[in-house]
Structures are given as C-alpha cells and as structure tokens.
Amino acid sequence: MSIKTSFISIFIVAIFGSLLWYLNISTSEDLAQNSLQSSVSVSTDSADIPVPPYSIVNTRKESNAESVVEKYALLMRETFASSIQLLKVQVGLKSFRDELESDYPGQGASLFEQVVRRAFPELAAEILTSVGKMQTYDEWLVANYLDLNDKDPLSKEGAIWAKRNEIFTEEGAREIWSEELTQAQEREETMHKVLATLNTADDMPMEDRVYIMQSAMQEQYGSTPQGLALGTTGLATQLVFDLESVQKELRDMSEDDRQESINAVRRQMGYPEDRIEALEKMDRDNEARWQRGYGYMEERTEIIAQYEGDALTEKLDELRVKHFDERTAYSIKVEEEQMKFLRFDEPRIFGRN
C-alpha cells in the first residue's frame, strides 16, 4: 500500500539557567512546510524519550565558550542518557545545533560538536554523523520542494521515502518516521475489521453496506496521499463489490435486477449518471462474455472426456473459434496450453468483471 502527512514538530525542552532547547524537525523543513504538506517530520514516542519540563524563559547568552560547553553537555547527558542510542533522538539534536548557531554565529557548529563529545564521548561520532545526515535530508527537501509540489500525492510520498531510505537506510528511516508507519498500520487494521464485518453481513441492506464502506474509507484514507491521488470513491466501490455478502446477493438476482442494484451502489457512491451508464454497458458486455465462456467451458469438458492427442487439440481449436472471435480464441489457446490458465474458471465478480 493515504494519511494527511504534515510536519509534526517534536519538542524536547530542558531548563538550565537561561536555556530553552527545541528538539524538533530542522529549520529547513519548517521553511518548506507550506509547500510540502504531505511530508512528515521526525516524530518521537514520549515513552522512549524523557521529556524535561517545558518552560519559556529569557534567553541570555553565555560569553565563555567553556562554560557554555560544560553547561550544555551536562544537561544533554542528564536529558538523553537513556535514549541517545536511538537514531530518532540523535537526528533531533540537529535543531539544538541550529539554535546554537543562531545564538553564536560562526561558533554554533563547533560548540555543538564539543558539547556532544563531552556529553557522550563513546557515541559522539555516531551522533554527529546522524545529525549530518539529517542536514543532508533537510537540504534536499528545501532544494526540491517545488518539484515535489508538482507531483501527485502518491509520487511525492514515494520520492520522500526513497530519499529517506537512501540517506538513513530503510531500517533507519522506519525508526525515525515510525509514527507515520504506525498510523498506516492502524488504518489497515481498521479497514480489515470493517471488511470482515461486512463480508458476513448477509442480512444487511445493500445501501447500509455501501454507507459503512464509504464512511470508513473516507475516515481512514480521505486525507492520505493515496486518497488524495486516487480518491476513495473508486476503491470503496471495488471493495463493496468484492464482499462475498454482496456477491451472494447479486448472484441470486435476475440480470436486470442485478444491474439495477449495481447502478444503485455506484449512484450512492457519487458516480455521475453518464459514468453509471457507461459502466452499465461494460457490465452487460461482461455478462455476454461470461455467458459465452460458460457455454464454452461446458462443451470443453465434454470434448476432453471424448478425445485425446491431436484429435483433442483439433476439436478444442474448433470449439474456441465457435464461441469467440479469432483473436480471443488464439489468446485462450495460449492461456490454456502454455500457461495452464482457464480464464472462465476464475471467480465472477459482479460489478467488477
């Protein structure tokens, strides 16, 4: 396999004298926020990362670099001692580095490195590498936000994830943006439950099945890249017709009643009348094709029981031409002889095929 993906800032704030730390997605991602509404920034789980008390105080710069390094190193060690090994915590420190650079122009990057090396000497190289990778990702995001905006939501999401995987590896990207993936899994689980319920709802009126499916799809996927790119109407309609409870009801109807019911489903889903008429023509063509197929399969079974070898091959060739045009007959021959595939043994799904 939506999802309205937007930049979700993460704040890990600590107070030490006059210090306010913001541990969130980088400033460069903030610059791209309006143009990249489907991007998702780093999100963290508060159960994994200790969050110090949040407070805003007057910021007063330290003039002594050694004092700055010592204070911040102590605070960093106290705050992240149990979580610094997490990649999502390491990359989040980039915004602290940016704050230092803002407060101490030309010195911030150096001060940040000193703080990290003093706070976590054994992990310093790893932390600095992680922050550098997030810098690379941020720069790519800003440099490409116009191109990304020109893409459809699915392509945009694909491009962003491809870059994340390229920079952080797939495993690393999944850790950093784990909340985004968790939300997708929750959506899928919810839809599985809806489908399981509707699939056995034999006594439920058709319009109720349609309403429940339509509402569930809109709620779960309406604002996701998939929903924005493809819409939920078409997919919800397909899922309705895929339900065994729906197919059972349609199978028990006459052809005209079945078509009327199929049209009603599409109408309830919001299809315009001209589209409903066009799809009805396709449905009736499909019905005629399946009826020819059923007749062909019945005669095929009889021929297989009576002939073998070259005689069987000749009789089946004649039978295919009898029921289908020359091109279709040839396609069916290839499917049966080379692919061992019987197209009319496949499930008939009213409203779909």
Averaged pLDDT for residues 163-171 = 94
Query: Considering 120, 141, 176, which residue would you say is the last residue of a domain?
Result: 176
Same domain, 77 and 120: yes
Burial 13-52 (b: 16+ CB within 10 A, else e): bbeeeebbbbbbbbbbbbebbeebbbbbbbbbeeeebeee
- Beta-carbon contacts of 77 under 8 Å, excluding residues fewer than 6 positions away, are 119, 120
Which residue range forms the structural domain that includes residue 305? Answer: 291-353
- Beta-carbon contacts of 129 under 8 Å, excluding residues fewer than 6 positions away, are none
pLDDT category of residue 27 using cuts at 50, 70 and 90: very low
| 1 domain-assigned | no
Q: Phi-psi bin for 169: left (phi > 0), alpha (psi -120 to 50), beta?
A: left
Query: Considering 271, 299, 330, which residue would you say is the last residue of a domain?
Result: 271
Query: Residue 195 corresponds to which amino acid?
Result: L
Question: pLDDT tens digit string along 53-104?
Answer: 322 222 345 557 788 899 999 999 999 999 999 999 999 999 899 988 888 8
Position 235 pLDDT exceeds 90 = no
| 163 domain-assigned | yes
Same domain, 100 and 34: yes
Task: Look up tokens 């004092």; give the residue.
Answer: 67
The predicted pLDDT at position 250 comes to 96
Task: Look up tokens 């107070």; give the residue.
Answer: 15
Q: What backbone phi and psi angles, to 5 degrees, belong to 20?
A: -120, 120
The mean of the pLDDT values for the chain is: 80
Same domain, 118 and 181: no
Crossing angle for the helix pair 108-119 and 94-103, to the nearest 10 degrees: 130
The predicted pLDDT at position 187 comes to 81
Averaged pLDDT for residues 329-336 = 94
Query: Considering 125, 160, 176, which residue would you say is the last residue of a domain?
Result: 176
| 2 domain-assigned | no
Same domain, 59 and 72: yes
Same domain, 41 and 132: yes
The predicted pLDDT at position 223 comes to 66
Number of domains forming the structure of the chain: 3
Q: Identify which of 38-47, 100-109, 113-122, 156-165 has the greatest average pLDDT.
A: 113-122
Burial 222-246 (b: 16+ CB within 10 A, else e): bbbbbbbbbebbeebbebbbbbebb
Same domain, 167 and 218: no
| 169 domain-assigned | yes
**How far is it, in rounded angstroms, from Cα 23 to Cα 172?**
19
Within 13 Å of residue 104, how many CA atoms lie on the same side as its CB? 17
Same domain, 37 and 161: yes
